A and B are shown apart, each in its own frame.
Chain A
């Protein structure tokens, strides 16, 4: 086990562990704070994949903007901190069996697969390559994302309006 592996497992543990608390905790403010660690762990994984730009974007947009907005929303909404979220479990035995079977088969299949791997090359920065790809080969995808965001904006405005 190399240092790389240890760092990977550390970040993976942070991500999965805090994601578990996000869904199980009853207080919405605590959940929001654990979401911070989940998103931070994902950013760490991106760094390990030498995807520096995406890691920074993950930090700035998710950890920075979205989570702060979420917390503001929670604080400004009247009395939402006192609301006890209902976390009743329905059909616990069948769902546990289904989840175990799914998890077991996923792990089994993943371990027996020849994943396509490329040797790790340390690049100075991925921003330039990303930009060239987005504006050349994937230009239509770039435009499509623009329209998707416009639609999301219009949809959100329409839903917020009474």
Chain B
């Protein structure tokens, strides 16, 4: 339609303007006022307090403590630490058990069975060493921590603790020029960044919503918790005596999570003082009453909906990733495989920032899903170093212990404590997974913000790893 033609709908608008001036009263206020008056009158007739007892005493007392200036943050940190400590201590045994069954027992059996029916070497290599092994690894490394962590986290949510977190964080976010509700979207991001991005719809102002979207990535998501927990257990937990290992590893994971929160506040501040200038808007946040969590239902939903969902997604992405890994490490150009070419090329830069070539390749292969970073690193290390017979046969590793096997793979790959720490940092600070990026694109409808959401954290991650590596080398002389 030609926009210059007369728009008959303008008539309605001009009519409205005329009538608005004629009635000469603030219609909006009148309507609101009569709504409030009526609501108060009706409620007054229908609601009665049985006694003059103070209401919500217990809730108020709890709120006074968990949102107090002194105890608010320590309680938050302590709760997180306890959750991780239980997760780390609790997932050890089932993890080893699954590893024993899936990798050490089933893998050789599968391999010999598939080989015995006369399939070509590349086919059973592709299927069993590539696809099956990566899936088996994902299941044994990720399932137990998720099955413990998610229900615990969901219980806290069901109880009503999240709005209190938001309440504690509100002033920090406001000082950073962001919306206080960003604390809530940040908490959602701790489950899944894509969900966190969608939850930013509760923020009215477009400016603050973009800030919330760009910083959501700094909430460690489902896919990255297991990485953090595993690396902390191997590299940090092993620094102290065994009985302290769980606690120390948990502290390390909490520190990374808190670093994420700090970074999201810092980035919010930078954004709201540079490309997204503006005042923070005010809002009211309701603190809902505490409700006793429904334990069984929580267990059910967090197991079925979160654990199985995330695991399924990990498997879904691990399968093709396993194929890709096998292919890049078995298709050769000249004297080396594609993987070796890339790793050799990227290795100097990797070392420069305290990582290595394998880790960089793994983060590229794992763009579709953060869940598979660790399995990808393990597979790449194993295949490029020629450690094909895991557990059985080669006699290198014979313990029924997934963590120790994983640790020895890392050792063989030339990892140091610095590599471990920087991997934890880089896993926190890098581009979001492709699902999250797609969600950002859908929610903002802008290629510019989607690109920013990928480039900013990636740049920050490289910078942080570089500085940590420099400081490390300064002190250790390495």
On whether the two chains bind one another, the answer is no
Q: Which residues of B contact A (CB under 8 A)?
A: none
